[in-house]
Structure 1
Amino acid sequence: MKAILKTLAETLHRADPSVDFAFRFWDGDEVRFGKHPRFTLHFRSEASGRSLMAQRFFGFGEAYTSGEIEVEGDLRELLRLGLNINFDNLVPGFLDTIRGIRAYLKTRGTPGGAKKNIAHHYDRGDEFYRLYLDETLTYSCAYFKDLAEPLEQAQLNKYDHIARKLMLKPGERLLDIGCGWGGMLIHAARNYGITGVGNTLSENQCRYATRKLKELGLDRQVSVVLKDYRSLKGEFDKFVSIGMFEHVGREYIPAFMKKVASLLRKGGLGLLHTIGFERVLKGKSWHETYIFPGNYIPRIDEVLHQMGRVGFSTIDVENLRLHYAYTLDRWIENYERNEEKIRRMFGDAFARMWKLYLYSSSAGFKYGDNRVFQFLFSNGLNNDLPITREFVYSDDDR
């Protein structure tokens, strides 16, 4: 096993010879590349090495969470080199296939299954999320006009970027599917005078958002309901969904689009903000199993195809590119400042798992296949829109 791991180390070195690093094994033996390692990957047992080689990032994630693998130094550099060799995108083996089938059966996005999946990730208490999110409790990609600006401002930038795309006007009814802690609804009500409804399956988020709206005196304009999107009713002028679509599940994408089409008035504008890929990825990921059960990241062509099937007219598609990596890096800074507190709250294994989730997500947006898209569309043809993008960007200070 040690010889195989040394071969892996040589492969990482070839991927970028400029990076000094080391592998340290369970018996104290060590292999080094360069004099000043940016990171040292420490295998505390032979089993942890076998797990890594047999299950790739999935095995690495399990061993890192349990403490059987330690990373001393720069975890980002290790993850970057791993992505450079596409270590986790190999053809899935038998274990991956069996795991994928089991996970699918346990975490399907049925109304009951979706609620359990959301509770697994989001119902850990506001105190926890306050430790690494910003004051708005926004849990999605921010929009940085200046990398020196605070995270909270970048999140407000994102909400305004979306509001301008949707051309929100006073009195319009806005539907926010998967509204989280209510940040978009609050911004739209305060700054654009809309009325509207948001939904979430998280009891924790619903309680917080309802209380916050009342505190701000906005509860007569907008409300948040604890409902599955499939049970929503009404007609709305505008639609938005930010970071919820990843939880729908592949088999339910057609039903999601059909439901949105039934709620958005003809000619009404919608914006779907979602993580996405540009190609097919293989295997069942560690993130899907331990962080976001029931998660499915769609390809851009899948989204456009399903929009077309229900009669949506695509107006604009924007790739926010590195904005999510910058967002995650801010979350990581906040997380590490509070890591000991998180460890006391949830235990060492959880603290390590969540840290790896944040770091690996950042690496995925910087060096891997992760993207975040904003799809602007209308429900049927709408020729009354401006013919350029100036209505989105004209007042920006860039």
Structure 2
Amino acid sequence: MNRLLADYLSKSLKKGSLELVDAKGTVYRFGDGTGQHVRARFTSKSAERGVVLNPELKLGEAFMDGGLVLDQGSIYDFLEVVLQNMGGTGRAWWWRVIYHFRVWTRRFRQWNTPFRSRQNVAHHYDLDGRLYSLFLDSDQQYSCAYFETPDSSLEEAQLAKKRHLAAKLALAPGQRVLDIGSGWGGLGLYLASRADIDVTGVTLSEEQHKVSNARAQEQDLAHRARFLLQDYRSLKPKFDRIISVGMFEHVGVGHFSEYFEKARDLLADDGVMVLHSIGRFDMPGETNSWIQKYIFPGGYIPSLSEVLPAIEKAGLKVTDIEILRLHYAETLRAWRERFMARRDEALALYDEAFCRMWEFYLAASETAFRYQDMMIFQIQLVRDQNALPLTRDYIWQAEEALRRRDQAGQRPSLKIAGE
């Protein structure tokens, strides 16, 4: 094994049990022998050399193409034993050079014009719809769930997420609500079914646009909920409420001011906006290069120190911030377990390399939330501080009222194209 890698791992991996076999067949052992035993093997010198030089990109690629094989344990187990020792800052000096160069050049990769944004969205969200049905809940919620109890199911936690967000909007009859990045329509349809409001959702995904409007028709909500294949930046009307879940991660750091200035222009004078996004606990950084290339091109996970100045400059006021710490780790664990249980069905849709890519994506994302300082923030925004009640009691009251309505009846599950 490359001496640099061997020395680095021996100094860094103090806990756990990792057995790593190099391309020559030599076995190296790291950790204190506790916990899940993991045995990984390089099948080629090129895979080993790539991981040494640029692990953020080449580790995932090696797993995808068979250059790294897990003989004992899973790729999640491998990432867990490595990252729980290294955390978010344990990089060798030559890896730090690559990382800082990427931070310096990140605006170029995140230059998300309307055209590039549509291309980026199609890369991930216009995959075969049946893939997502393998691991998401029945409402196709592709964002962090809200686990009210440790034993909540994924279905319960995703419903609780919608309820929690709806309560923060302080909805009232007759309001016009905008959902920026509306996905497969689940949140917009939930709002339309639970309150006497009018919902407009916007998405850049052709697949999501088609499915969302079909669902509105199926649920007899098309008169109160419609979904547009349109960039939010081209919208003109004013809205009483704006909700955005899991979309801000695709905006890009160079477009933060543009995003909040447009949100301000779309929000009524007495309006309320709630932004739900992945964030980082630590200082500003850069998107993992493997995630950038294979999963979310143009994406970026911001720190609050990058987001709040853009909000202030846009003339919006922050009225509430909530941090969800391990909720997404639990969500991703549920997704990963559900995907692996139905992996053969994914293989029928795509190939082995794709299935390994998706497994690595879910495992790497979960470990990022457990060990690399990722979290979720929900920020409530207004133009006028008098737009909301004086205390936060209205949130709990609205949430309880919605809980009673949720318990009163089940909503129709989502039908995906091809099912």
Structure 2 length as normaliser, TM-score? 0.88
Instruction: Tell me, yes or no, if structure 1 residue 76 matches structure 2 residue 71.
Output: no
In the superposition, relative to structure 1, how do residues 43 and 213 fare at CA in structure 2: closer, same or farther (>3 Å)?
Answer: same
**Cα distance per residue 1:259-314 (max 9 Å; x no partner):** 11111101200001011123122575211121100001111122111111111110
SS at match of 1:196: strand
Aligned-pair CA distance for 1:384:
4.8
The alignment status of 1:280 with 2:277, answered yes or no, reads no
Match of 2:408 in 1: none
Which residue of the partner structure matches residue 55 of structure 1? 54
Structure 1 position 76, deviation (Å) = 3.1
Alpha-carbon spacing, 1:94–1:326, altered in 2? closer, same or farther (3 Å): closer
Moved more, 274-283 or 302-311: 274-283
Correspondence list, 1:300-319, <5 A: 300-319=304-323
1:197 to 190, 195, 200: 200
Shift of 1:94: 6.5
Q: Is 1:291 the equivalent of 2:288? A: no
Structure 1 residue runs of 5 or longer lacking an equivalent are none
Give per-residue Cα distances to partners, 1:103-150, cap 9 Å, x unaligned.
865663111100000000000021111011110011000001123222
State how 1:238-253 maps to structure 2 within 5 Å: 238-253=241-256
Query: Which contiguous aligned blocks of 4+ residues in structure 1 show a shift greater than 4 angstroms?
Result: 87-107, 394-397
- Which residue does the alignment assign to 1:6? 6
For the residues of structure 2 that align with 1:81 and 1:357, how far apart are their CA atoms?
A: 17
User: What SS does the corresponding residue of 1:169 show, helix, strand or coil?
Assistant: coil
1:241-390, aligned counterparts within 5 Å? 241-278=244-281, 279-281=283-285, 285-379=289-383, 381-390=384-393
1:88 and 1:215 map into 2 onto residues whose CA distance is 51
SS at match of 1:383: helix
Structure 1 pair 188/37, CA: closer, same or farther in 2 (3 Å)?
closer
Q: Deviations over 1:46-66 (max 9, x none)?
A: 221211111022121111111
User: Displacement, 1:12?
Assistant: 4.0
- For residue 335 of structure 2, what is the amino acid of its counterpart? W
Aligned to 2:412: none
SS at 2:54 equivalent: helix
Q: Per-residue displacement from partner, 1:155-194 (whole Å, max 9, x unpaired)?
A: 1111110111111122111000100001111110111121
Question: How far does residue 247 in structure 1 lie from its aligned partner after superposition?
Answer: 0.6
CA distance in 1: counterparts of 2:302 and 2:188, whole angstroms: 25
Assess, with a 3 A threshold, how the Cα gap between structure 1 residues 282 and 198 changes in structure 2: closer, same or farther: closer
CA distance in 2, matches of 1:27, 1:20: 21
Q: Distance in 1 between matches of 2:216 and 2:189?
A: 7
Structure 1 CA distance for aligned equivalents of residues 103 and 341 of structure 2: 35
Question: Aligned to 1:25, which of 22, 32, 36?
Answer: 22
The count of residues paired between Structure 1 and Structure 2 equals 393
Q: Percent identity?
A: 35
Say if 1:88 and 1:223 are closer, same or farther in 2 by CA, change over 3 A.
Answer: farther
**Which residue number in structure 2 is paired with residue 160 of structure 1?**
163
Change (3 A) 1:173 1:24: same
C-alpha distance in structure 2 between counterparts of 1:210 and 1:307, whole Å: 32
1:41 Cα deviation from its structure 2 partner: 1.9
Structure 1 residues 44 and 35, CA, compared in 2 at 3 Å: closer, same or farther? farther
CA distance in 1 between counterparts of 2:337 and 2:129 reads 18
Indicate the RMSD between aligned Cα atoms, in angstroms: 2.3
